[in-house]
Amino acid sequence: MNCTVAIVGGGLFGSGLALELVRKGIAVTLIDRDVVPVNRAARRNEGKVHLGFVYAQEDDARTAAVMLEGALAFRRIVASWIGNEAWRSIPSSTPYHYLIHRDSILDAARLAVHYAAVQRLYEETAASDPQGLDYLGDRPPRLWRPLDPAEVSAYRRASVQSGFATVERALDTDSLCDQLAAVVSATPAIRWVGGTHVEGVTNTGKGFEVYGGRMGERWAERFDFVVNAAWTSRVAIDRSVGIVPPKGHLLRLKYRVIVSLPNHLRGLSSATIVLGRFGDVVIRGDGTGCLSWYPACLRGWSDAAEPPAEWEDPCRGEPATVDAEAVVHATLAAFEPYYPGLSRAAVLAVDAGGIVARGASDIDDPGSRLHSRHAIGILHTVEKGYLSVDQGKWTTAPLFAVRVGEMVAQMAGVGND
């Protein structure tokens, strides 16, 4: 294939897209500000493969439908990139309990209505595409049930009166990203251009010039097709080709704490505390955990087109010691009533990622637009040569990589394999 294709951003979406295009016979240049692939939000998140439960504030379950679609495609697509054996080696979490905090913006009855809608969407998939039922390799008949009183009493020291058991799980993001980075690096048809900060793209009329800085020097290169997969900088790059930033564009900096769990907590259910500014405890099969208490872990909020410069260090895994200590202290203290003894966990790592969404108020506001995430995927095209993609969530990134791969192949005049 003679056309030249650039993908700006080698996260879960961009790296997966590169592999999809190579599979179709299209060589790709993968450009990233980081020196190695999949080293940003793709690696530094909680790894929950969302079934859509958390978007309960939305009346029509549109976001849940998108999440469910992404979740049921996730294993098949990622395993096709890294191989089945590598997939099986990724540590997974125990299923999540959804615990209803006494200050939840929705009560148990209202949450149950939403969860029933998620179950209906799942059953519709089962009826229309039985082969499509694949949630991380399982085909559970039911996705949730109310917790029984004995299960609720395990959380009696916390502000929880009731909750739900779900089949939702998280994966170890570091493990998945290590495997994906190795495949990207070993694929000759992917040209990796790391350490390159893309500032913008110019439509030359005969293709698109991608420009920016590389190791202190100016850098530019022309391509026939460009996919903007830069996640936190997508809007800034879009602006350079004349796409007006969306109203309510919001960047948040969110930390996570990776721990080695005390023995007595290993194997317990993971938990997410709903619905509002609470958090999650992910308990993985390998004895590690991923913790994120929203009030302590949310440490940046910006409506700028690009993340503030001071977000850079935590987003590549090197937070300031004082910030890391503050996050750890507050997070362990907040979860202690839910998992007594958790504060004795050994901290293995503290890092952060940028989250892109739309909204002006936080998630404890029932009217916040953050409760809706269905307007994702291919958001803009410029003269059939430039695509801007919001990958939405970790959950949906593989699905969109496949879809965008098909679109780029079509634009490039290459048939599907």
**Residue, CB closest to ligand FAD:** 11
Q: Which of 287, 222, 221 is nearest to 258 (CA)?
A: 287
* Residue 165, amino acid: A
> CB-wise, 121 or 280, nearer to ligand FAD?
280
> CB-wise, 81 or 394, nearer to ligand FAD?
394
> CB-wise, 44 or 162, nearer to ligand FAD?
44
Total Cβ atoms within 10 A of residue 145: 11
Least separation in angstroms between residue 59's CB and ligand FAD is 22
Least separation in angstroms between residue 221's CB and ligand FAD is 13
Q: Which of 246, 382, 385 is nearest to 305 (CA)?
A: 246
> CB-wise, 34 or 172, nearer to ligand FAD?
34
Least separation in angstroms between residue 153's CB and ligand FAD is 27
> CB-wise, 207 or 307, nearer to ligand FAD?
307
Least separation in angstroms between residue 360's CB and ligand FAD is 19
Q: Which of 214, 193, 187, 211 is nearest to 201 (CA)?
A: 211
Which residues are bridge partners to 345 per DSSP?
none
Helix (H, G, I), strand (E, B) or coil at 71: helix
> CB-wise, 162 or 373, nearer to ligand FAD?
373
> CB-wise, 104 or 233, nearer to ligand FAD?
233
Q: Token digits for 56? A: 């309960």
- DSSP per position, 36-60: SSS-STTTSS--B---STT-TT-TT
Whole-number CA gyration radius for the chain:
21
Q: Which of 119, 118, 137, 121 is nearest to 129 (CA)?
A: 121
Least separation in angstroms between residue 278's CB and ligand FAD is 14
Least separation in angstroms between residue 264's CB and ligand FAD is 25
Least separation in angstroms between residue 40's CB and ligand FAD is 4
The span from the CA of 113 to the CA of 165, in Å, is: 15
> CB-wise, 18 or 261, nearer to ligand FAD?
18
Least separation in angstroms between residue 22's CB and ligand FAD is 17
Least separation in angstroms between residue 407's CB and ligand FAD is 17
> CB-wise, 162 or 391, nearer to ligand FAD?
391
Give the neighbor-by-neighbor strand order of the sheet with 377-382: 190-193, 28-31, 5-8, 225-228, 386-390, 377-382
Q: Which of 38, 35, 1 is nearest to 229 (CA)?
A: 38
> ∠179-285-131 over CA atoms, to 5°?
65
> CB-wise, 7 or 154, nearer to ligand FAD?
7
Least separation in angstroms between residue 363's CB and ligand FAD is 13
Q: Token digits for 240? A: 């350079």
Which residues are bridge partners to 5 per DSSP?
225
Question: How distant, in Å, are the alpha carbons of 21, 66, 382 from that of 119?
Answer: 34, 14, 38
Q: Which residues of this protein are in contact with ligand FAD, per CB under 6 A? A: 8-14, 31-34, 40-42, 44-48, 50, 170, 197-198, 229-233, 254, 256, 292, 353, 355, 391, 393-395, 397
Backbone φ and ψ for 11, nearest 5 degrees, come out as: -85, -160
The span from the CA of 410 to the CA of 162, in Å, is: 50
Q: Token digits for 283? A: 């308990």
* Residues present in the chain in total: 417
